[in-house]
Chain A
Amino acid sequence: MRWRAKTLMAWVAVAMLGGFVAPHAAAAQSASNNVGIRLLDAPVNRADDPRARVYIVDQLDPGASIHRRIEVANATSDRLTVQLYAAAAQVEQGEFKPLDGHTANDLSGWTTVTPSSVDLAPNTKTIATVDVAVPPDATGGERYAAVWAELPPTQSHGVTSVNRVGLRMYLSIGGEAEPASDFAVNDLRAGRDSAGHQLVTAAVTNTGGRAVDVAGQLSLARTGLNAGPFSSTGAVTLAPTQQATMSIPVRPQVSRGPWNATLTATSGNLSHTASGRLLFIGAPHNAVPGDYGWLLWLLLAVPAALIIVGGILVVLQRRSRIPAASGGVSAR
């Protein structure tokens, strides 16, 4: 009777523990503790441009203005004050680089975000407006900036942590017709990164009049084999006339080839393909699955070496025994 009661108590304890733990685990999974930003308005004349659905992409004459709504959402369980403002960005080295803090440039100076600060209750969202007024004497060309939603800082052990999330702005000023967007991708090469992992690179050049964000997908094929698709590391952002190298890591690694490679590069609804024949030479990173040349050599060489060494030792031993047998003293 005693052990039954004990067992019963043990099961009850386990059930209670489970009951205590389970709802907490569920709560942790369902709560997202973040602040988000999104674009609410996109121009009708860019309805088919995927980039215009996530970034503020437009073309304006000097003296013109646009008005776009954005939404800021507080998906945390605390009341938060979120700062809203526009700041400078630039496109260089294949990246869309926001500048630090509230650093300003032409476009950020022409942009007003209203309100500049929103006080959001837990799990609520609000609409703000982004107004861009281009001065009549603005020079033509592309401009880049970002609209930021900045969270209240956290302070801990002397470190102040600031997180902010933003919307990119790609604005083209002037011209009677909007400059066409285009880019070229070529010069596919097989190589290895600094850690020895296989890497394919391609040269991407902006040949149009608007900035592009180019991402790539690589497929490899040889007789009876297909590998991929492999994705590029991030998108390459290029202002007109800029060029950068796109990197596509090949993970997990493939055999050395040669492979027929096809790279499909896309920016918005623009797409171009580059192809080439690639051979991955150089030292592999650890063992290369499917390429056992070096392992075969090791499997043959080691036993062969042992046999040779063993043979030498046996010969030496026999030689040393012969003089002992003729003149030595035998054990009794």
Chain B
Amino acid sequence: MRSRRACAVIAGVVGLVLFGAGAPAWAGPGDTNTTFTLTSGTLAISVPGSANLGSFATGSTLVSGSLGGITVDDTRGALVAQWSASVASTDFTTGTATANETVTKTNVAYTTGVGSSTGTGTFVPVGAASLAVSGVAGTWTGVGNNSTSWNPTVAMTLLGSQVAGTYSGTVTHSVL
């Protein structure tokens, strides 16, 4: 009898100690370093697609083409699900990047097109007539998980004196 009681007491004490060690230190109102673990999904962006802006004959004033598709998958399951996709461009240059070998980002226009979405909410395509500063490609507002794909086009306004060549530049999509 005694040994059983002793075992029970020991078990109880051990249990208390383990519980005390394992439980999170209970936070006071100002303590921001006590956290709990979230189990939601991610906000994800697709691997960049392949762009093809085509080629232009010297003397033409505009060249445009597709940047390749982009998909945003939001599985955070948020009560107020929101994200915004912005886009930025560098200048596009060829050769030694002199004035006539450059299409400045001011002359780069971005058209989002119509997105295709799943989920409860709305995708609003925005786009930018000029990427002199970064613009908004589109925004989502809704409830719960959602996914939107769009295939943007970029149009470059060319100089009358634009030189022939393969132009290089970088377009960055940022989603948060």
Q: Is the CB of B32 within 8 A of A37?
A: no
CB-CB < 8 A to B67: which residues of A? 159, 161
Smallest CB-CB separation from A125: which chain B residue? B42
Contact between chains at A159 and B176 (CB < 8 Å) = no
CB < 8 Å neighbour of A215 from B32, B80, B173, B175: B80
B82 touches A33 (CB 8 A): no
Q: Mark B18-33, 1 if CB is under 8 A from A, else 0.
A: 0000001001011111
B44 adjacent to A164 (CB under 8 Å): no
Q: Does A289 contact B (CB under 8 A)?
A: no
A154 to B67 alpha-carbon distance, docked (Å): 11
- How many residue pairs link A and B with beta carbons under 8 A? The number is 210
Chain B residues near A159 (CB-CB < 8 A): 51-53, 67, 168-171
Q: How far is the CA of A53 from the CA of B80 in the complex (A)?
A: 11
Give the distance to chain B from A162, nearest Cβ to Cβ, in Å: 4
CB-nearest residue of chain A relative to B168?
A158
Q: Which B residues touch A266, using CB under 8 A?
A: 80
Q: Does B110 contact A (CB under 8 A)?
A: no
The interface on chain B, measured as residues whose beta carbon lies within 8 A of the other chain's beta carbons, has a size of 62
Residues of A within 8 A of B141 (CB): 215, 231-235
In the complex, what residues of A have CB within 8 A of residue B27's CB? 43-45
Q: Is A7 an interface residue (CB 8 A)?
A: no
Chain A: interface residue count, which band? Answer: 35 or more
- A45 and B31 in contact (CB under 8 A), knowing A151-B48, A163-B48, A166-B175? yes
- Which listed segment binds B: A70-78, A275-283, A296-304, A321-329? A70-78
Given A39-B38, A154-B68: A163 and B47 interface contact (C-beta under 8 Å) = yes
Bound form: Cα–Cα A68–B86 in Å: 25
Given A34-B73, A164-B172, residue A73 in contact with residue B48 (CB < 8 A): no
- Evaluate contact between B43 and A36: CB separation under 8 angstroms: yes
Contact: B43 with A37, CB < 8 Å?
yes
* A 164-206 binary contact with B (CB < 8 Å = 1; else 0): 1111100000000000000000000000000000000000000
Q: How far is the CA of A54 from the CA of B121 in the complex (A)?
A: 18
A: which residues have CB within 8 A of B? Answer: 32-45, 47, 50, 53-54, 58-60, 64, 66-68, 71, 73, 75-76, 78, 80, 95-98, 100-101, 146, 148, 151, 153-154, 156-168, 213, 215, 231-235, 249, 266-268
Question: Can you identify 7 A-B contacts, CB atoms within 8 angstroms?
Answer: A36-B41, A36-B75, A53-B38, A75-B44, A148-B174, A160-B171, A235-B141
